[in-house]
Structure 1
Amino acid sequence: MAGRSPALAWAVHLSVVLLVVLWTIPTAGLLISSFRDRDQISTSGWWTALAPAERNLVARSKAPDAARQEGGEWIIEGNVFDEEEGAGTVTAFGVSSRSPTAFAPGDVAERGDARITVQADGQYRIASEQQPEGRRGTRLFVTSKEPPRWTVENYRTVLFSEGIGRSFLNTMTVTIPATVIPILIAAFAAYALAWMEFPGRALLLAVVVGLLVVPLQMTLIPLLRLHNSIGIGKAYLGIWMAHTAFGLPLAIYLLRNYIAGLPREIIESARVDGATDFQIFLRIVLPLSYPALASFAIFQFLWVWNDLLVATVFLGNNEDQLVMTGRLRELLGSKGGEWEILAASAFVSIAVPIAVFFAMQKYLVRGLLAGSVKGG
């Protein structure tokens, strides 16, 4: 219908573009934020990353005992920017919290008998006729413009100091077998349901379809009890089997629809030539079913990689087995204000799924739609 109507076709195209933009903008913002330092990420949005950032800071001058006498005056000099904060350009300053931007760089502000000047490069000069007293320096309220600052320290901290590197390996250890195992089992089952005649085939297919609507939360406790009773609880084997069980109904359903849609002539010709079902499956069906296998692999990989519930139930919070989602949950609790660490951690966790999706996305639609019109 949309193909015959230019207006509907444009509407479809614009909707797709809008969806792509809505998904791309947050990802781009996360990537940019992960390379910004703590000060700038907390004071300005990622969309201002290429522009100078405005920052308000409260600096304190050197202590009164650092004053030197010069021409009948006592002078205290220094710079409001220390090495950790980095250099900027002062745009305004003040000597009171009520008027933090009362003076421009180079102006003279008076506070008691002291004359205070702050230059654009951050150099300040406090001159007074009487020797300063006290233990603490004078507070200076400064507004500055700072150039964009980029750093890879966030990723260095995440990968080597926050345990994300270990959690990354743990997640790979869980995800790869939990993706491969159900594909292998489902491929055999799908071929049997599509091309092999045996009693109860229709009933078995109906059970598979029914399992698609069963919430996995209902099975967590019984399955965990079973795993504990046979000795695979809180182990990688247990979570592999759990993800396999949860993924098999969808895998069998998708692959069965695809395999049933393969040309019957190819299967019958192979049988006439004396090929066994195993030979037909291995040499004909599997090579032709690669799009369907790849489409399910994308679904299963993304599901397992982003899973927190199943990993928490079947692995727990053991430091040696904590997965990425569990590690990010801990970071949110302990480092809720360190957005640069959270941004870098989140992007590390989504980098692999993004790479997998773009590497295999051309098979996704083809594998899902194949067999939807013609079935066995």
Structure 2
Amino acid sequence: MDRKKIAFIISAPITAKAFLVKHFEHLSKEFEITVIANFENEHETAMPFVSNVKHIAIQRNINVIKDLKALFLLYGFLRKNKFDATHSVTPKAGLISAVASWMSRIPIRIHIFTGQVWYTSKGFKRFFLKLLDKIIVFFNTHILVDGESQRQFLINENIITLKKSKVLGKGSISGVDTDRFFPSNEIREKYRQDFNFLNEDIIFAFLGRLNTDKGILDLANAFYKLNKDCSNVKLLLIGYDEENMLEKIKGIQRENIVFFGPTAKPEEVLQAADVFCLPSYREGFGTSVIEASLLELPVICSNTYGLAETIVEGETGLRHEVKNVNQLYTQMKMLVENEEMRKNLGKKGRQYVLKNFSAEQISNEWVKFYKVIISNV
């Protein structure tokens, strides 16, 4: 008997490599997996556990001519290969996939929401981007959301309905690889030596894209205030600088800030830190938070809707109001002064993630979901 065929449709292959490989490993035992993405700048198109890959130049940014071309190329490929299901990730891929899959009469059409780019937008831009999300929902048969708080937000915004949407497991698009993210004194000492951190230094770390919506300037301002009170603190910034944030940060504070840049080994670099901070203005789920918790780092994060499931307030981390620099500073100072609190939050954080967000758990939920919805196709 031929296996059912699923096409995953994304803009950039890095999305699949970062979040979907574990799912492919599990799903490939039951289904034939194809990945459709913009492989234009990729030297290697092969992916683990994937039967086929297809290059279609889906752009992240809006470009009407290129988007229409991608739409009709995708339509032709889907129609020719007669997939049983399509599954899109990221907004642009979601929009093109939804329309092309509907045109191709794919019986099962799935999109997963992992955050809303329009959350911090205003006026016509917000209206237009919300409209695109509504189009994605209209043309798909199933909608997944990578967190319950995000799902409720989308319901309140009239983007999705309770009946048509679902969160798999406790949330997150991929969970965390528990074999990869584990605390190690040896790794911690190596990186602290590499960064020239002293034993008495308290290191605050940020991991993610450096841009305004991540609250990175709020973190810099809170750290500036903290560093005036505490000479033994450092700030470690890990990630790609998207908006020339480094120069803006230097305008706030130059001393005691280390910019590491992007890394393929967050499970190692993060271990140089004592506290993890994510003062984000908008977040779909906050994978970096559960990664940090798995490394036994206490977390300070904003109370934006997408981070609700990632920590337990007062048990695994602390929350502050979005854009409230003074609250962020107060919580940072509290953890500088209370080593026992740091350790307790960190240890409970690891147990919380192990119980709810292991990659194995989330992948098993994906397999169960697909077995149910695809069985009658």
Would you say same fold, with TM above 0.5? no
Larger Cα Rg: Structure 1 or Structure 2? Answer: 1
- TM superposition score normalised by structure 2: 0.20
* Structure ranking higher in helix proportion: 1
Higher relative contact order (CA 8 A, sep 6+): 1
